[in-house]
Structure 1
Amino acid sequence: MKLQRLLSYTRKAIDDYKMIDDGDKIAIGISGGKDSLTLLYSLSHLRRFYPKQFDIEAITVSMGFKDMDFSPVKQLCTELGVSYTIVETEISNIIFSHRKEANPCSLCAKMRKGAFNAKAKELGCNKEAYAHHYDDVIETMMMSLIYEGRFHCFSPVTYLEKSDITLIRPLIFVREADIKGFRNAYNLPVVKNMCPVDGYTKRQYTKELIKRLQSENPGLKERLFHAIQTGNVPGWNNSYLLPK
């Protein structure tokens, strides 16, 4: 995928769901993975010509794993003209050594979000951007059905009342396959995830399940995404976006 196509998808999501206003300062969560680096690349270029003026801050919450070198990410931020902050934590030590969590993902996510929110507020940001993409949307809905028994998904825009900050997801129209292509085409400095449960989660199981169903039922992903947009999922069912 070329940059122009990425920007087109990103702008569509931002415009359709009114994600950005004049004067916004947006904290981008940078894990070092392909998704967050693609979001960084997209928003850093979009701000140059988007009609509403906004600024961005790149923030990495380091979980404390050894051998995770974020210096290439720092170099990319320098090249893109984006301020970059690393928040050092002991999350990995707390979860895997002290608490020895059998199912660590929920607690880990909560701790990372807390550290990210705190730093975003400290830097004066009024919005945060997560790199959830098209496939994440579908997988999250399927996980909700399988494990919670309800038809639900995160919203394109979410106001976090406790933190007084608004969360946006500008990559919701970008497919994971396109992100992989963008990563390769632009040599994004992906940092390998050292988490011991990476690839062995409920999300990974759901991803593989959808892949199998998609191969047996071509067009399944498009239908699932359409169901989310036209259903009663909070934040998605905007009447002006629905087919007439």
Structure 2
Amino acid sequence: MAKLFQEIRRHRQKEFDLTFLVMDPGYNRENRALIESNAEALGIPITIFESTIFDTVDTIEKSPCYLCARMRRGYLYSKAKELGCNKIALGHHYDDVIETILMGMIHGAQIQTMMPKLHSTNFEGMELIRPLYLVREADICAWRDYNDLHFLQCACHFTDTCTTCHVDGTTSSKRLETKKLIAELKKTNPFVESNIFSSMENVNLDTVIEYKKNGVRHNFLDEY
């Protein structure tokens, strides 16, 4: 994503300023070096700042992923605003979106999606954007391999020590389980991924029991 932004700016397709911001939440020396090596290979001048997120979430016995993600975003918002930025761009892709939709339904008893952009509720004037929203994970991996790059999966202390880690480096996380479920469903329905994605564009409120808008619950009985 950083390279895409760099190329767009280089060819003057859009006028904007860029800061390539990297947060080190407590990486070990090897993982920190990998990030720096990737940036150097791509010619991307990164700005790295440290946080203690890994140490903080280390105290949580079960999977700390949700808290870790929220803390990462908060640190990025804060540092970006300090540097005079008005947006942060995250690298979530198409596959992340459909996995999040299913995870919310199966594990959270809710229907929601990752938004392509949204205004920050805690940092005034800041916005979050997801430029890779329509890009498939397989295409990103193909680009990575073509450029002989190596990406970090998570690299947190939890995945280093968890008892559900597999020899291929993956873990028995809810997201991985959901990814496997989608792959299984695709065997009988080749359109399952696009159908999940498009379902968030085809919500019929006339057939929804209850929904929330701006934090207020609305029930179909309110207007029955």
TM-score of the two chains, using structure 2 as the length reference: 0.77
1:184–1:159 distance in 2 versus 1, CA, 3 Å? same
What is residue 111 of structure 1 aligned with on the other side? 71
Report how far residue 78 of structure 1 moved: 5.1
* SS of equivalent to 2:48: strand
Q: Is residue 144 of structure 1 aligned with residue 104 of structure 2?
A: yes
Q: Is residue 69 of structure 1 aligned with residue 34 of structure 2?
A: no
* SS of equivalent to 1:52: coil
What is residue 55 of structure 2 aligned with on the other side? 93
What is residue 216 of structure 2 aligned with on the other side? none
What is residue 11 of structure 1 aligned with on the other side? none
Q: Are 2:31 and 2:152, in contact at CA under 8 Å, matched by a contact in 1?
A: yes
How far apart, CA to CA, are the structure 2 residues paired with 1:75 and 1:56? Answer: 20
Larger Rg: 2
Match for 1:218: what amino acid?
A: P
Q: State the Cα RMSD in Å.
A: 2.4
What percentage of aligned pairs have identical amino acids? 35
Report how far residue 177 of structure 1 moved: 0.8
Q: Are 2:31 and 2:155, in contact at CA under 8 Å, matched by a contact in 1?
A: no
TM-score of the two chains, using structure 1 as the length reference: 0.71
Unaligned runs of 5+ in 1: 1-38, 235-244
What is residue 175 of structure 1 aligned with on the other side? 136
What is residue 84 of structure 2 aligned with on the other side? 124
Moved more, 121-130 or 62-71: 62-71
Match for 2:181: what amino acid?
A: L
TM-superposition CA deviations, 1:168-201 (whole Å, max 9, x none): 1111111111111010012234246422336332
Report how far residue 43 of structure 1 moved: 1.3
The 5 A counterparts of 1:191-206 are: 191=152, 193-195=154-156, 196-197=158-159, 199-206=171-178
Choose between structure 1 and 2 for higher RCO, CA contacts under 8 A separated by at least 6 residues.
1
What is residue 84 of structure 1 aligned with on the other side? 46
Q: Are 1:68 and 1:193, in contact at CA under 8 Å, matched by a contact in 2?
A: no
* SS of equivalent to 1:216: coil
What is residue 179 of structure 2 aligned with on the other side? 207
Report how far residue 220 of structure 1 moved: 0.8
* SS of equivalent to 2:18: strand
* SS of equivalent to 2:46: strand
Q: Are 2:98 and 2:193, in contact at CA under 8 Å, matched by a contact in 1?
A: yes
1:191–1:149 distance in 2 versus 1, CA, 3 Å? closer
Report how far residue 85 of structure 1 moved: 1.7
* SS of equivalent to 1:182: helix
What is residue 51 of structure 1 aligned with on the other side? 13
Unaligned runs of 5+ in 2: 160-169, 206-211, 213-224
1:136–1:192 distance in 2 versus 1, CA, 3 Å? closer
